[in-house]
Structure 1
Amino acid sequence: MKSLPPARRLRAKTAVIAAAMAVTALLATPPAHAEGSAPPVLSDGFGLTQVVGATEVHSGTDFTITVTSRQLSGPHKIRIFLPRGYEADPGKRWPVTYFLHGGGGTVDDAAAAPALHSDSMITVVPDGGLKGWYADWVMQNTVMGAANWETFHIDQVVPFIDANLRTIADRAHRAVVGLSMGGSGALHYAESRPDLFGHVASLSGGIDFGMAEIRGAVLATELNLTGAWCAVSTSSPSGTGQCTGYGPTVDSDAIFGSPYPVFNADRIWKAVNPAATANLAKLTGVEITLYTGNQGVIDHFTEIAAKNVKARLDQLGLRSRLVDYGNGSTLARTCDGGHNYGCWAPALADYVTRLQTSFAMTS
């Protein structure tokens, strides 16, 4: 700068100082969606061991951990959305919603439904496998190895979350919601453990195993027959909604045993059928919500399944809410009434708003 005139030297020095201050300010400012400097550190337990260095931090209130469990073969992810006020109010406890993704999907599908990242609750999105069907499989010696998905979620993930995060750990403040394959899982989990879940919602769920078409969907995942269920039940990073399949082929009896109603060979299907009257009767006191469209091959059948469940709940005298949005015109401009996030995202926005109200009323 010695070769420059005094005025120019001053301007140059001022510009350097301003640039340095700008860089310092930028480095000191957290991302727009961050809350605090980092998500909370979680402790291993309940059969779950975190994979060191595998945590993905999307923001201070949106992060994914990877865990191993003897109940499942291989590592599996759990994505967690925290309310923006979680760190700022260390004395506050929060309701929890568990979101179960569809077949061929991943924990990242939840990002396609912004309503799930609520400032009124914690949302937990555990891996459900490409074809886990939220069940403890009959066959544990397939190429998939250990596959006790229900035990993983109910006996490990739920207590792990309650031990590590400031949850309100009672059924009145815990919900389970899922779509497609996850819709079946959500209803089954609520029936299996009504002491844990006081709220359940199924969106376009494969919730009636008494229907041959729903059993066929399960078989398609076991045999990796990619089709309509796989193609639109996930949310890919590119936004195409395409999935890459259901993973390695397994025996058609691997998950629920034989699907054929001969000499009671399908007894396990009957026992775990979310639409069975005996199972629905376990939902006394649970807030039940069903969503479905009726367009396309898939939601044509999920509408039938939802209506079957609604009719049986009515016969049992159990209150429930069925939102059949048909071709989607009454739900949102993005919804065509089909099996996709264009419908599920606004349906979840509707549900989460109502769920937040229910949580608040029981606080």
Structure 2
Amino acid sequence: MARASKCWRLTATGMVTALALALALALALALALALALALPAGPAQAAGDTAPPPLTNGFGLTQVDTAVGGPTNFTITVTTPEVAGKHHIKIILPSGYYDDPNRRYPVLYFLHGSPDDPIQQNYSALTMSDSMITVIPDGGARGWYANWLNQKTQLGTQNWENFHLKQVIPFVDANLRTIPTKKARAVAGVSMGGFGALHYAQVRPDLFSQTASLSGDIDLSVRSMDLRLAVVASVTDALGAICGSASGACDPDNSPYKPGVDSDALFGSPYPVFNADWRWNEVDPAAHMDKLAGVDVSIYVGNGGGVPTEPEFWLEGAAQHVKDSMDALGMPYHYVDYGDGSTWGTQCNGGHNGACWEQDLRDLIPRLERAFAS
């Protein structure tokens, strides 16, 4: 009888031990699951796959059509209630993105110019980094990276700022292995996108540690009325005012800015009469450089070879106004005026073109990589 009792006690002890082990295992699995849900794993894809990785809809973005490209350089198409129509988002991943599933990356948001599209942003410099992700969202032919004052034009809803800052950024952070912090996030852009880069960093300095303008429309004050009116021309489809160039190329019948809408649709009245243009002054990057305290600023510009019909000729003055503002504030910055381009790469002629912007990016991207790594 005593022997049987001893056996029962050993069995009970074993059951308690087994139960404790099972509970510990369950807790460990629960903790592992919680951690897995808390940190996005990124695309579940092997390095040898040839298709773009699967991304999950969210934050108001719905993917439509089929992603185009390969595993590290691809374009998705999305819809959003914030901006009418379909919109491309181009994503460039480091070549070794799939090699280490635990590695996370900083992100460069690159904003295209007018009337371009993300698909057309084929600068080789954007694909050379092995240490950061690049995201190129659609900014529209003349969206100007802003929430438009008039949302009831023929163009439909035009909340580009909301689309990018409130939807694209969290969508990217949720789907890719990003480092979702200010220090690990930069915004840069060319032409219209140069305005967008400084504007976004000014309205949300908590999101970006670096901002860069490449030949940007970064002074919209009356000092640069020529640039303000160029913006108005894109909104109203005054094609003759914006498509003229040194080559004389102009095709009003195939304007990318159709249909034209009212000149006040974007930021209200652009005309400086009785302070009617106050909204333009509110979004003028040159007037608000103080908002970029704590954000590293880079400015690149040429002079169009001194030819007044070349847009860069006028953008140089806008860049100088921004530089003067930063000097007055005692701000640090990186400023490159490459003039006629003769010392800036082998193809740059100082004009408003991709050859000069390619060289800008070859200077900018290594500096971003060093800043992210510091």
Match of 1:171 in 2: 182
Give the one of 299, 304, 314 matched to 1:290: 299
Letter of the 1:146 counterpart: T
Seen in structure 2, the aligned counterparts of structure 1 residues 209 and 191 have a Cα distance that, compared at 3 Å, is: same
Give the one of 351, 358, 361 matched to 2:371: 358
- Does the 8 Å contact 1:95/1:359 carry over to 2? yes
Match of 2:17 in 1: none
Letter of the 1:150 counterpart: E
Letter of the 2:124 counterpart: P
Matched, 1:207 2:229: no
- Does the 8 Å contact 2:141/2:257 carry over to 1? yes
> Superposition RMSD on alpha carbons, in Å?
1.6
Give the one of 307, 318, 321 matched to 1:308: 321
**1:248 shift after superposition:** 1.4
- Does the 8 Å contact 1:72/1:148 carry over to 2? yes
Matched, 1:331 2:344: yes
Secondary structure of the structure 1 residue equivalent to 2:104: coil
Matched, 1:142 2:153: yes
**1:224 shift after superposition:** 1.8
Corresponding residue pairs, total: 313
Seen in structure 2, the aligned counterparts of structure 1 residues 156 and 324 have a Cα distance that, compared at 3 Å, is: same
Mean Cα displacement is larger for which, 160-169 or 293-302? 293-302
Match of 2:106 in 1: 95
Matches within 5 A, 1:1-363: 36-51=49-64, 53-57=65-69, 59-111=70-122, 113-117=123-127, 118-210=129-221, 211-226=224-239, 244-276=255-287, 279-295=288-304, 296=307, 297-361=310-374
**1:40 shift after superposition:** 2.0
- Does the 8 Å contact 2:88/2:119 carry over to 1? no
CA distance in 2, matches of 1:35, 1:85: 11
- Does the 8 Å contact 1:228/1:298 carry over to 2? no
- Does the 8 Å contact 1:335/1:342 carry over to 2? yes
Seen in structure 2, the aligned counterparts of structure 1 residues 258 and 159 have a Cα distance that, compared at 3 Å, is: same
CA distance in 2, matches of 1:109, 1:221: 19
Match of 2:31 in 1: none
CA distance in 2, matches of 1:45, 1:245: 30
Cα deviation per residue 1:168-199 (whole Å; 9 max; x = unaligned)?
11111100000100000000001111100100
Secondary structure of the structure 1 residue equivalent to 2:83: coil
Seen in structure 2, the aligned counterparts of structure 1 residues 338 and 63 have a Cα distance that, compared at 3 Å, is: same
Letter of the 1:55 counterpart: A
**1:246 shift after superposition:** 2.1
Secondary structure of the structure 1 residue equivalent to 2:232: helix
Secondary structure of the structure 1 residue equivalent to 2:334: strand
Cα deviation per residue 1:293-346 (whole Å; 9 max; x = unaligned)?
001431111111111101111111111111000000111120000000010011
Seen in structure 2, the aligned counterparts of structure 1 residues 159 and 268 have a Cα distance that, compared at 3 Å, is: same
CA distance in 2, matches of 1:85, 1:108: 22
- Does the 8 Å contact 2:74/2:92 carry over to 1? yes
Letter of the 2:200 counterpart: Y
Cα deviation per residue 1:34-74 (whole Å; 9 max; x = unaligned)?
863333211111111111x33112x2211111111110111
**1:229 shift after superposition:** 5.4
CA distance in 2, matches of 1:231, 1:199: 33
CA distance in 2, matches of 1:173, 1:110: 22
Give runs of ≥4 in structure 1 deviating > 4 Å: 227-232
Seen in structure 2, the aligned counterparts of structure 1 residues 114 and 161 have a Cα distance that, compared at 3 Å, is: same
CA distance in 2, matches of 1:259, 1:140: 17
Letter of the 1:132 counterpart: G
Match of 1:9 in 2: none
**1:83 shift after superposition:** 0.4
